[in-house]
Chain A
Amino acid sequence: MLIRKCFPVALLAVVLSPFNPALAEESFTIVFKDHRIVPQELQVPAGQKITLIVDNQDAAPEEFESHSLKREKVVPGNSKVTVKIGPLKPGTYEIFGEYHESTAQGRIVAK
């Protein structure tokens, strides 16, 4: 019953998804682990909006920050946050964890 009721809605969602900008955004993940950023370099497409998932696998809170992307967001210990970025011009954007800046360094490369 439930499946039959939901099916048309689900179908509609799938059909409409290319037209919904929120669903069309590609998502990428970076991880904070042992106060380092993994991967150190993340390649993303230029010229389109992107959802960045920041996964903090350390127990301590971290602040995801980037001056060139103008983004800052606290990531509590052992949790994930999402940050919307772009559309980016091609180039390299530095990212870091503000609470452990000496080790938590990385970059996003838009191509």
Chain B
Amino acid sequence: MSAAALIVFREVLEAALIIGIVLAASRGVPGSRLIAAGGIAAGALGAVVVAALAGTITEAASGVGQEILNAAILGAAVLMLGWHNVWMSRHGREMAARMKALGNDIVIGRISAWALGVAIALAVLREGSEVALFLYGIAAGGEKTGAMLAGSAIGLVSGILVGVSLYAGVLRVPLRLFFTVTGALILFMCAGLASQAAGFLVQAGLIPALSESLWDTSWLLDEGSIAGQFLHVLIGYIARPAGIQALVYVLTLAIIGALLASFGRTSPVSSRTS
């Protein structure tokens, strides 16, 4: 892959993995495919706007506008995914079995579907704005523009293919285990996103790092590698986490995990009869 292809692939990969998992987890939610498509479109549009405003955002909030925006996007994504996850773990099984909306819960079901759409839009927004800036640089550079754009297209398509593969793979999980598996996947993804948000706030100097790096496993798996990047998105792998990042990670796991345990589980009897 050319340098341009690799850069675009890396950025697209993060959003594609998130979308692949979340969309698979939303099987049976009425209209989820359409809402996801809307989320992707809205996110892409937002990405272009954010890229165009890069200078203004950078100077905002005494120079830490970028960090605050990134942390806010990640934080909002965690809230949306957390909500969606708890709701799906409660109703997903029944909906997947009946393939229709549930009477009284239909309104909450819609809110949950919107949470899905917003989460997807945020993922596309964050990664897409970096792709847009990179492409803008190519256009401004003038040299080898054609080859660079072709490379970017290859990167985009490759990233999407990985996301689609993951989506197809997750859908193959037997229904008996399906919502346990997707629930766990999204839970760890949320914890990772939350610790990334904390990283941006440390970078801005807004919260203490509580030790710059708690440990260092970069000798084992570097975050720059493709495998490292996969784990970074899927479970929030950071080779040298700051103390506060580890703390936020554990807290997010505990909070969403507790919500899943107390609200999420349908009783074994009701899930068997559905």
Contact = CB atoms under 8 A, between A and B. Distances in A.
Contacts of B66: 73-74, 81
B234 to A, nearest CB: 18
A76 B62 CA distance: 16
A81 B63 contact: yes
B266 interface: no
A79 B56 CA distance: 11
Given A61-B133, A74-B58, A68 B240 contact: yes
A77 interface: yes
A77 B58 CA distance: 12
A86 to B, nearest CB: 7
B58 A70 contact: no
Given A61-B133, A61-B136, A81-B63, A86 B212 contact: yes
A98 B58 contact: no
Contacts of A67: 218, 222-224, 239-240
Interface string A57-83: 001111100011011011111010111
Interface size on A, as a range, is 20 to 34
A63 B70 CA distance: 14
Interface of B: 3, 7, 54-55, 58, 63, 66-67, 130, 133-134, 136-138, 140-141, 199, 202-205, 212-213, 218, 222-224, 238-240, 242
Contacts of B224: 67
Nearest to B225: A67
Interface string A18-34: 00001000000000000
Contacts of A79: 55, 58
A40 B199 CA distance: 26
B7 A99 contact: yes
6 contacts: A60-B141, A67-B224, A76-B55, A84-B205, A86-B212, A101-B7
A67 B221 CA distance: 12
A88 interface: yes
A75 B204 CA distance: 15
A70 B242 contact: yes
A82 B204 CA distance: 9
